[in-house]
Amino acid sequence: MITCLIVDDDPALRELVGDHLTRYGLAARLADSAAAMRRELARGGIDIVLLDLMLPDGDGIELCRDLRMHSKMPVIMRTAQGDPISRVLGLEMGADDYVAKPFEPRELLARIHALMRRSSGALAMAPAGEGASADAAANAPARFEPPGAPVTRGFGGWQIDWRNRMLISPEGV
């Protein structure tokens, strides 16, 4: 199941998008600010971020750029600023797609699915026999993990230290 983090300071829109995505089989987690986005990302398990450009405590462009420095997680920028300069800036700062408000919820859903199909993570998430392979899983973009936090990934006690980019064996080597 694809887990979307919906970051928007408008509670009605945030809930509407979340309800729509869950109705179509996606999991939705909600954040109303840059700080809430960081907390949700630190919890892990996010596959894609739907990010509003203007938040009360942060700039969506900067948040996208910072996220891109730590992760290849897909980002769809959602904003009321639909002018070409804003769109180009959003894409150049790391957004994978850009949707201007107001938008059609079904179009957003289609864009999420298309973006996940294009990412190598889509192959890694596919059931066996539908294109999944060891190579696809090995090359899948990692979910966001907080920098510096060693994370145990249920594969025989091995750990990944994201900050130092180290793979640590169960023996600590």
Average pLDDT over residues 156-167: 66
For residues 160-173, one letter each, b for 16 or more C-beta atoms within 10 angstroms of the residue's C-beta and e for the rest, the string is bebeeeeeeeeeee
Q: Please give the CATH number for the structural domain made up of 3-123.
A: 3.40.50.2300
* Chain region(s) in the chain for CATH 3.40.50.2300: 3-123
What sign does the CA torsion over 119, 141, 102, 11 have?
positive
> In this predicted model, what pLDDT tens digit does every residue of 43-59 receive, in sequence order?
999 999 999 988 999 88
**Residue 9 or residue 101, greater confidence:** 9
**Residue 123 or residue 164, greater confidence:** 164
> In this predicted model, what pLDDT tens digit does every residue of 112-147 receive, in sequence order?
999 998 875 444 444 444 444 333 343 344 455 454
Q: Which of 139, 134, 26 is nearest to 72 (CA)?
A: 139
E strand intervals along 63-108? 75-79, 97-100
